[in-house]
């Protein structure tokens, strides 16, 4: 019997290309978490909204928690960043007034059925932050970035001669972060818009020159 020839290596198994765009699927997942929160969102809700099956979800994004963290990062980089840019970009016409316009918009959105959707970070802070260090770290990062934005705008107010003497900018910036977080936290059942805007005026009044 003739010796067998050399074995031919099998053809490499090529990974099947994804039938979806991960970035688009992640954005859809972000909106599901944004609308319903973490606990109320099931994997089935996610796969239906994302247009993928469970295997694709786990293979591409990991488990539900890993997907949620990626959704938080997407929210931070897109929604959060655009919000902060909106404050900065309108500050050239008067920095304190720009802050007031932005915070008033937050109040108005809370009373608008079309826009009344609680901040995804606020949902995460309520549901997961007390026991989830990865979520808490992301929320702290958002607050720090928002604080930096308010510091930048208040410094502009100082150069414009709008900021009162003796105002400590870092402390004042934290007061604005806390005010914004408070307004957002009440988004599900907001106080009257008139009351919210009055509170904003009261916080900003000591900052004005």
Share of the chain above pLDDT 70, in %: 87
Helix (H) or strand (E) holding 154: helix 133-159
Handedness of CA 172, 173, 174, 179 (dihedral sign): positive
State yes or no: pLDDT of 8 exceeds 50: yes
Burial grade of 171 (CB within 10 A; 0-12, 13-18, 19 or more): exposed
Residue 9: which pLDDT band, with cuts at 50, 70 and 90? low
Instruction: Please state the rounded mean pLDDT for residues 122-134.
Output: 88
Would you state the pLDDT for residue 90?
82
Digit-coded pLDDT (tens) for 93-105: 789 999 999 999 8
| Angle at 61 (CA atoms; ends 33, 185), nearest 5 degrees | 25
* Structural domains in the chain plus CATH codes: 72-207 (1.10.357.10)
pLDDT of 13: 45
User: For residue 163, what pLDDT is reported?
Assistant: 96
Mean pLDDT calculated for residue range 147-158: 93
Is 57 within 8 Å of 47 (Cβ atoms)? yes
Percent of the chain scored above 90 by pLDDT? 56
State the average pLDDT for the chain: 85
Tell me the mean pLDDT in the region 180-207: 87
Question: Rounded to whole angstroms, how far apart are CA atoms 63 and 200?
Answer: 41
CA dist 70 → 80, 159, 196 (Å): 14, 39, 33
The pTM assigned to this predicted structure is 0.80
Cα–Cα distance list, 22 to 58, 62, 149 (Å): 12, 12, 30
Quick: pLDDT tens for 102-122: 999 888 887 776 654 567 888
Q: Is the pLDDT of residue 69 over 80?
A: yes
Phi and psi dihedrals of 208, rounded to 5?
Answer: -80, 140
Q: Which of 85, 89, 86, 98 is nearest to 157 (CA)?
A: 98
Instruction: Give me the pLDDT at residue 15, please.
Output: 46
Tokens representing 138? 């992301």
DSSP-assigned beta bridge partners for residue 208? 163
What average pLDDT does this structure show over 124-135? 90
Amino acid 113: pLDDT: 63
SS3 for 208?
Answer: strand
Taking only the tens place, the pLDDT of each residue in 71-82 is 999 988 887 677
Does the pLDDT of residue 11 top 80, yes or no? no
Residue 65 pLDDT greater than 90, yes or no: yes
CB of 52 within 8 A of CB of 20? yes
In 3-state terms, what secondary structure has residue 163?
strand
Q: Which residue carries 């414009």 as its tokens?
A: 160
């Amino acid at each position: 019997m003739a010796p067998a020839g050399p074995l031919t290596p099998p053809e490499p198994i090529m990974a099947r290309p994804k039938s979806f765009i991960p970035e688009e699927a992640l954005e859809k997942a972000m909106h599901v978490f944004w609308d319903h929160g973490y606990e109320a969102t099931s994997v089935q809700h996610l796969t239906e909204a994302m247009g993928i099956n469970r295997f694709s979800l786990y293979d591409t994004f990991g488990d539900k928690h890993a997907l949620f963290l990626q959704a938080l990062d997407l929210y931070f980089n897109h929604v959060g960043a655009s919000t902060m840019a909106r404050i900065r970009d309108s500050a050239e016409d008067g920095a304190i007034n720009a802050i007031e316009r932005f915070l008033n918009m937050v109040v108005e959105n809370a009373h608008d059925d079309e826009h009344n959707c609680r901040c995804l970070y606020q949902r995460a802070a309520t549901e997961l932050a007390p026991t989830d260090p990865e979520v808490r770290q992301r929320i702290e990062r958002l607050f720090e970035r928002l604080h930096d934005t308010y510091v930048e705008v208040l410094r502009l107010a100082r150069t414009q001669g709008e900021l009162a003497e003796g105002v400590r900018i870092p402390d004042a910036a934290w007061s604005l972060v806390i005010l914004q977080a408070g307004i957002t936290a009440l988004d599900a059942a907001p106080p009257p818009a008139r009351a919210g805007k009055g509170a904003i005026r009261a916080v900003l009044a000591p900052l004005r020159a």
